[in-house]
Structure 1
Amino acid sequence: MTYDSRKRLLDVSAAVLGLLLTLPLMLILALTVALTLGRPVLFRQHRAGRHGTTFTLLKFRTMVDEDPARGLATDAERLTGWGRFLRSTSLDELPSLVNVLRGEMSLVGPRPLPVRYLDRYTPDQARRHEVLPGITGLAQVRGRNLLTWEEKFHYDVAYVGARSLSLDLRLLAATALAVIRRDGISAHDEATAPEFKGSPV
């Protein structure tokens, strides 16, 4: 059995088990999001997947609607206390298991980023799209949003070159520890991370 087929078996098995085990929790989270933030409960956004193919990422909503008149324009202004909790515990990521089950994502791989970033990567950075994006990855356990974009992409490309089932399992274990510690949730003075506008030439 090839690495890709073993990885897919791991992804499907873990996604099915994860969805079944967390279903009661996700129902509670969905109700809480609906009561505190309103509808829709899920955040949906087009992201770039393997080979740049577009898919719809699913996460629990963590921000209120944009409303500049009420001072709700930036992500930091729109992020609520409940949303901050969901992000710090990574509970907002649970619906992404559906993306894994669909084959749009993997458990481990470079994080899926907005489609508008596609033409901003250097040729080397674009190699991150040679594999399926992941819920977690090498960059997430090496600093997450405390890293610069260039550092994140360095780790993404390093993963592409070194990927293996043993590495995936080690990264999943390291991710569990990082989630418990709530490491690297946001960049300095940012709700999450600043927009990537391209690397300096």
Structure 2
Amino acid sequence: MYAKYMKRLLDILLSLTILIVLSPLLLVLCILVRSKLGSPIFFQQERPGLHEKIFTMYKFRTMTDKRDAEGNLLPDKDRLTKFGKLLRATSLDELPEFFNILKGDMSFIGPRPLLVSYLPYYTETEALRHTVRPGLTGLAQVSGRNFLDWDRRLAKDVEYVKGLSFQMDLKVLFLTVKVVFDRSDVAEDTSQAEGNFARIRQERLDRTGRLEA
């Protein structure tokens, strides 16, 4: 009952309420991002959602468009500003995802949506993460956040899916608030960690001929 009906209803009511309450903050952040980092204000990227349906996820941009003499974008670390690091450290860059929740692309709690290019590299068990809507936060994020290795992170996603309940969502929500305010287990630059996923899985596939751990 909760997973099928109540969870989505709560997502709609809470996301709409939060967007209304935080509208002044969102306006201020839009102005600051535009003045400090340029346009577009929002970072948009395709991610797989429920049943692997592709959707566009929104965040506030945290990097500039600085380029080298040949016109190529500089590495992420050279484009990530102090203001961008602040947005990431405080999770303020995630606020536009409330629009994704309202639309039904995402939920408040669920496995974080990863890159579309990772889809071929999940094991059959890990692919269960796509049988629920992806979340703004999830069990993996409050169990070590960006410092869990990929196998343990995906195992936490599967654990969440198999144990999905109102009590589980309350637990994750409580731990998320704690993690954000403690600013614990936060990695300022996760691009390298995310970039390693496909490489690690491809190496395992080349070595063993299968993805199962």
TM-score of the pair, normalised by structure 2: 0.88
2:2–2:166: 8 Å Cα contact kept in structure 1? no
State how far apart, in whole Å, the 2-side matches of 1:65 and 1:5 are. 42
State how far apart, in whole Å, the 2-side matches of 1:34 and 1:174 are. 32
2:120 matched residue in structure 1: 119
State how far apart, in whole Å, the 1-side matches of 2:99 and 2:67 are. 30
Q: Cα distance, 1:192 vs. partner?
A: 6.8
The residue matched to 1:64 in structure 2 has which SS? coil
1:106 matched residue in structure 2: 107
2:140–2:153: 8 Å Cα contact kept in structure 1? yes
2:167 matched residue in structure 1: 166
Q: Cα distance, 1:120 vs. partner?
A: 1.5
1:41 matched residue in structure 2: 41
1:3 matched residue in structure 2: 3
Q: Cα distance, 1:66 vs. partner?
A: 5.4
1:61 matched residue in structure 2: 61
State how far apart, in whole Å, the 2-side matches of 1:169 and 1:158 are. 15
Q: Higher Cα Rg: structure 1 or 2?
A: 2
State how far apart, in whole Å, the 2-side matches of 1:126 and 1:75 are. 29
Q: Mind listing any 5+ residue stretches in structure 1 that lack a counterpart?
A: none
**Structure 2 letter corresponding to 1:83:** G
State how far apart, in whole Å, the 2-side matches of 1:39 and 1:13 are. 30
TM-score of the pair, normalised by structure 1: 0.93
Q: Aligned pair in 2 of structure 1 residues 16, 117: CA closer, same or farther (>3 Å)?
A: same
1:110–1:138: 8 Å Cα contact kept in structure 2? yes
1:88 matched residue in structure 2: 89
State how far apart, in whole Å, the 1-side matches of 2:12 and 2:192 are. 29
State how far apart, in whole Å, the 2-side matches of 1:139 and 1:192 are. 18
2:211 matched residue in structure 1: none
Q: Cα distance, 1:68 vs. partner?
A: 3.9
State how far apart, in whole Å, the 1-side matches of 2:82 and 2:169 are. 32
Residues 113-155 of structure 1 deviation map (CA, whole Å, 9 limit, x = unaligned): 1111111212221111111000000001001101111111010
The residue matched to 2:34 in structure 1 has which SS? helix
Residues 26-77 of structure 1 deviation map (CA, whole Å, 9 limit, x = unaligned): 1101100000000000011001101111000011000112524489532222
- Aligned length in residues: 200
Q: Mind listing any 5+ residue stretches in structure 2 that lack a counterpart?
A: 209-213
**Structure 1 letter corresponding to 2:100:** N
2:76 matched residue in structure 1: 75
2:106–2:135: 8 Å Cα contact kept in structure 1? yes
